[in-house]
Structure 1
Amino acid sequence: MQQLMVRLLGRNYWHYLGFAAVAMLVTLLLPVQSVEFDRSLIASGQWWRLISGNLAHTNSYHMWLNLAGLMVLASLHGDHFSKKWLVGLFIGLALATGMGLFVFAPNTERYVGLSGMLHGLFVIGAVADCRKGWKSGYLLLLGVAIKVGYEQTFGASPELEALIHARVATESHLIGALSGALAALLWWWLHRHNRDQHQTAN
């Protein structure tokens, strides 16, 4: 069973499953109003909502769609990152999405869901593909750029909004993707810096 999970989700599958379990527990056990991104409550000092809003969902359809997306990313890019980096990415992208919405999307009063984070993870994984010389990484980056650009111009699918009983916050997709791009550049620079230091020491 463990070998099958490694084959499907990569060697870091426990971290992805653990994060998925946290999102499930938050969605199923806590009232969404107690953890959602709520601009007025964040402004009054409830800063944890910048992160916790990413873990909540409007309904079970919303949750399962996002968790399915997380598992797809685990399968595509789960082996690219060390366990320490992966935990940092989960927390960092959640915070970056929340802060990005608070600062750059003043019309967004409330937000829940993993979609912003997922776009960030997608971009970072695609850049990691590029670092390995895989042409698929460039195609993935082009695909996510077209998707995000389309959403900013034409909005999200009405069918999807009806399914999750909420407006799709396409601005979170843009913020998540840009946060992922910045994180990927930082990750790339640190790897290159460490490699250069190692070569200099030798």
Structure 2
Amino acid sequence: MRNTPARSSAGKNEFGGPRRRGTDVLMAINVTVFALQFLTKDKLLLWGAKDNQLIRAGQWWRLITPVALHANLLHLVTNNYSLNSLGPAVEMLSGRQRFLSVYAASAVAGSAASFAFSPAASVGASGAIFGLGGALAVYCARHRELMGSQSDAILRSLGQSLALNIAIGFSTPQIDQWGHFGGLLGGALTAYLLGPRLERVKRKGGHSLQDNPPIPLFTSKL
């Protein structure tokens, strides 16, 4: 968050792929809303930027609307690039319903943390994107036995990316670090509760995987 090829030939991880449609819809929403912002002369407060005074006055919807707003074109491109990098992996591993649940929960958690600890107005999808990183980290940590060395490699990469983003955030006053931290924790907690949580179970003829998260709301059938 910041303060004030053809569809038929698309691969699974390319824009338009059948297993990443949730990611593509979110990216399209970001672009569409930014175009509407431009047409209305970028009235971010009117569109729903996080503003503490207005939230205290009862406009609680401002805890979710900032996720679709962006301060400028570079902000939009950066967040859509990050969403395109993380979103497909989380969506394919978790399923579309859990992916969208993580994204929404992370957006609200990021705005709530910013509301609690930062007086500045803010917009942006980065809190929700940090939440996707948290969800991917939970998945890898939870499935080390199944993923082997790949799990450690992904966790190491996520840790390096997190450290870099924190360093950039502390050196750039316009970046809402509280929104990032809140989104990260919100995404990790949502992924922990909703899963996936794959376990080996004994069945006739061998073993299979079963999805047993703490809250079996969107459990996958394996």
TM-score bracket relative to the smaller structure: 0.7 to 0.9
Counterparts of 1:99-114 in structure 2, within 5 Å, are 99-103=112-116, 105=117, 107-114=118-125
2:212 to 192, 195, 202: 192
1:135 to 149, 156, 159: 149
1:57 is the counterpart of 2:70:
yes
Q: Compared with structure 1, are the counterparts of its residues 136 and 192 closer, same or farther at alpha carbon in structure 2 (3 Å cutoff)?
A: same
CA–CA separation in structure 1 for the residues paired with 2:70 and 2:96: 26
Deviation >6 Å, runs of 4+: none
* Higher Rg: 2
Cα distance, 1:100 vs. partner?
2.2
Please list the CA deviations of residues 158-189 of structure 1 after superposition, one character each: whole Å capped at 9, or x if unmatched.
5xx5xxxx711122222211112211221238
Cα distance, 1:193 vs. partner?
5.0
2:34 to 11, 27, 30: 27
**Identical pairs, percent:** 22
CA–CA separation in structure 1 for the residues paired with 2:101 and 2:50: 20
2:10 to 4, 22, 25: 4
- Greater share of helix residues, 1 or 2? 1
Give unpaired runs (5+ residues) of structure 1: 197-202
Aligned residues: 187
CA–CA separation in structure 1 for the residues paired with 2:49 and 2:148: 38
CA–CA separation in structure 1 for the residues paired with 2:179 and 2:148: 28
CA RMSD in angstroms, aligned pairs only: 2.9
Give unpaired runs (5+ residues) of structure 2: 1-6, 38-42, 198-210, 217-222
TM-score by length of 1: 0.77
Matched position secondary structure for 1:94: helix
CA–CA separation in structure 2 for the residues paired with 1:119 and 1:21: 19
Cα distance, 1:78 vs. partner?
3.1
1:115 to 126, 135, 138: 126
- Greater share of strand residues, 1 or 2? 2
